[in-house]
Amino acid sequence: MMVELVVRPLADAFMQVGVYVAVLVAVFGWLRWRYGDRVTDGLTRRPRIGPLVGALLGVSPGCGGAIILMPLYARGKVSFGTVVAALTATMGDSSWVVIAANPVFALKIHALLFVVGLATGYVVDLLGIDPAKALDDRPAKHPIKETPAPAQPAGALAVLADTVPRRTRLMSAAFWALTIPGFVVSVPVVFHAVDPSLLATALAGIDPYLVIGCCGTLAAALIFMAGRGRFADDTVETAEPRSARAALRHSAHEASFITVWVAVAYLGWQVLSTTTGFDGTQLALTGVLGVLLGAVVGLIPGCAVQIVFTGLYVSGGLPLPTLVANAVSQDGDALIPLAVLRRRSAVMATLITTVPAVTVGLAVLWLL
The reply to whether 104 falls in a domain is yes
Taking a C-beta distance cutoff of 8 angstroms, is the pair 28, 60 a contact?
yes
| Integer Cα distance of 276 and 273 in angstroms | 6
The reply to whether 144 falls in a domain is no
Helix (H, G, I), strand (E, B) or coil at 56: helix
Q: How many CB atoms lie within 10 A of CB 358?
A: 18
| Integer Cα distance of 61 and 215 in angstroms | 25
- Is the model's pLDDT at 250 over the cut of 90? no
| Integer Cα distance of 318 and 31 in angstroms | 33
Structural domain count, the chain: 1
In this predicted model, what pLDDT tens digit does every residue of 264-313 receive, in sequence order? 877 887 787 777 765 554 455 678 888 998 999 888 877 777 888 888 88
> 156-165, 218-227, 228-237: which has the minimum mean pLDDT?
156-165
- Give 59 or 332, the one with higher predicted confidence: 59
In this predicted model, what pLDDT tens digit does every residue of 306-319 receive, in sequence order? 888 888 888 777 88
DSSP secondary structure, 197-224, as one string:
HHHHHHTTT--HHHHHHHHHHHHHHHHH
Q: What is the mean pLDDT of residues 228-255?
A: 65
Taking a C-beta distance cutoff of 8 angstroms, is the pair 182, 216 a contact?
yes
Taking a C-beta distance cutoff of 8 angstroms, is the pair 185, 199 a contact?
yes
Question: What's the pLDDT score for residue 264?
Answer: 83
Most confident of 82-91, 193-202, 256-265: 82-91
Residues 6+ apart with CB under 8 A from 327: 91, 94, 109, 113, 298, 310, 357
The reply to whether 151 falls in a domain is no
- Confidence band of 110 (pLDDT split at 50, 70, 90): very high
- Confidence band of 241 (pLDDT split at 50, 70, 90): low
Residues 6+ apart with CB under 8 A from 350: 87, 299, 301, 331, 335
Taking a C-beta distance cutoff of 8 angstroms, is the pair 255, 18 a contact?
yes
| Integer Cα distance of 312 and 319 in angstroms | 10
In this predicted model, what pLDDT tens digit does every residue of 126-179 receive, in sequence order? 998 888 776 444 554 444 444 444 444 444 434 433 445 577 778 888 899 999
Question: What's the pLDDT score for residue 359?
Answer: 95
Most confident of 106-115, 252-261, 302-311: 106-115
| Integer Cα distance of 167 and 315 in angstroms | 35
- Is the model's pLDDT at 244 over the cut of 70? yes
- Give 79 or 279, the one with higher predicted confidence: 79
Question: What's the pLDDT score for residue 145?
Answer: 46
Q: What is the mean pLDDT of residues 225-247?
A: 62
- Is the model's pLDDT at 364 over the cut of 50? yes
Taking a C-beta distance cutoff of 8 angstroms, is the pair 123, 91 a contact?
no
- Confidence band of 37 (pLDDT split at 50, 70, 90): low
Question: What's the pLDDT score for residue 94?
Answer: 85
Taking a C-beta distance cutoff of 8 angstroms, is the pair 10, 217 a contact?
yes
Count of alpha carbons within 13 Å of 4, Cβ hemisphere only? 5
The reply to whether 149 falls in a domain is no
Look over the chain and give the mean of its residue pLDDT values, rounded to a whole number: 78
> 63-67, 173-177, 234-238, 341-345: which has the minimum mean pLDDT?
234-238
CB burial readout 134-154, b (16+ within 10 A) else e: eeeeeeeeeebeeeeeeeeee
pTM of the model: 0.66
The reply to whether 227 falls in a domain is yes
Measure Cα distances from 256 to 98, 190, 338 in Å. 16, 20, 24
Question: What's the pLDDT score for residue 117?
Answer: 95
Q: State the residue range of the domain holding 320.
A: 2-134+156-367
| Integer Cα distance of 224 and 303 in angstroms | 14
